Amino acid sequence: MYDGYQGYIAGYEPGRPEKPDRHYMPPVNNLVLAQAYIPIQRYGKTFPPEEALKQGTLFPELVRPYAKSKQGGRW
């Protein structure tokens, strides 16, 4: 059902020539109710292996640092 959709593409890099992936996130007005959607990652920049290992991921757009809480109870 997602063929031909051109919605939000995570990690998209305009300069990078690439055969487009078939499965994009559908635009908001085409979303079906009562199910979840997650944007499909596009292949863009990657860390060199040593940096990837340090970060815990090869993909800069997936880095989500955590700031240690002294008090706890972030919510």
Partner 1 sequence: MWLYEKKLQYPVRIKKPNPQMAMYILSQFGGPDGELAASLRYLSQRHHMPIPEAKAMLNDIGTEELAHFEMIGAMVHQLMKNASLEQIKAAGAGTWYTDHDRATWPGTGTGVPFTASYIMSKGDPIADLYEDLAAEQKARATYEHLIDLADDPDVIDPLRWLREREVVHFQRFGEILMKLQEHRDRKHVF
Partner 2 sequence: MTGLRESLLNQIRAVEFATLELNLFLNSHPDNQHALRDYNNHVRQLMALKNEYERNFGPLINFGFGYSRCPWQWINDPWPWEYDSGRGY
Per CB under 8 A, residues contacting partner 1 are 1-2, 23, 35-41, 53, 55-57, 59, 62-64, 66, 68-70, 72, 74
Tokens of 36: 């979840």
Contact 11, 44 (CB under 8 A): yes
Nearest Cα to Cα of residue 61 among 10, 14, 18, 6: 10
Q: How far is the CB of 14 from partner 1 (least distance, A)?
A: 21
- Of 28 and 36, the one with the shorter C-beta distance to partner 1 is 36
Tokens of 7: 């919605």
Contact map string, positions 38 to 57, toward partner 2, x by CB under 8 A: --xx-x--x--xx-xx---x
